[in-house]
Structure 1
Amino acid sequence: MKMFMLKSLGVAALMFISVLAGMQLANDGIHKMKGYDDPNFQNAVSINETDKDLNATFLGKDVSSHDIEAKKKKLEEISAFNFFSSMGKKLSDGLSGASGKLIKQITE
């Protein structure tokens, strides 16, 4: 059992390092493909936090907490009914309750 866990952790660490190396190679490839260093080259997502406000840039578009609050308010005003969402909530509540009861019966 000890060897299995050691091998599993080793493989997981190797995969994690491989993913990081692949991301770095992809970034270097993008810079090489461009052919020059562009100071305007932006990351996909950047987050700037100040004392009072939290600003984020997603794919070059500025998104602030005020925008998110306005969209949330607009969605609440629409109050659209989603049949599949309500069915999913009922199903998850039912499964959670049933599994809770089953676990309670097993442990007693």
Structure 2
Amino acid sequence: MKMFMLKFFCILAIMFISVLAGMQLANDGIHKMKGYDDPNFQNAVAINDNGERVKATFLGNEISSHDIDEKKKKLEEISAFNLFSSMGKKISEGVSTASEKLISLITE
């Protein structure tokens, strides 16, 4: 089962990288076919290094660590109280204590 999962995730990663490379090659082909640069056509993935900071863009959207921090804060605010999560924790605690009591009764 472990080998299957390993192969599955390796193939999944290869396919994802292939899709990104294909998008980039298609974009370059469009630029070559037109003969000039059109600002409407953007690179699928671009990484710019200006010495101090590294800027990454994915499908024209800039990705920065500030965006990731903001998304993390939003996620923490959203999951501050999750009804199903709290119910699941209580159920798991109840099952754990019940199984401990049952085991202690059986062993005595």
Q: Same fold (TM over 0.5)?
A: no
The higher radius of gyration belongs to: 2
What TM-score does the superposition give when structure 1 sets the normalisation length? 0.39
- Higher RCO structure, 1 or 2 (CA under 8 Å, sep 6+): 2
In the superposition, the TM-score normalised over structure 2's length comes to 0.39
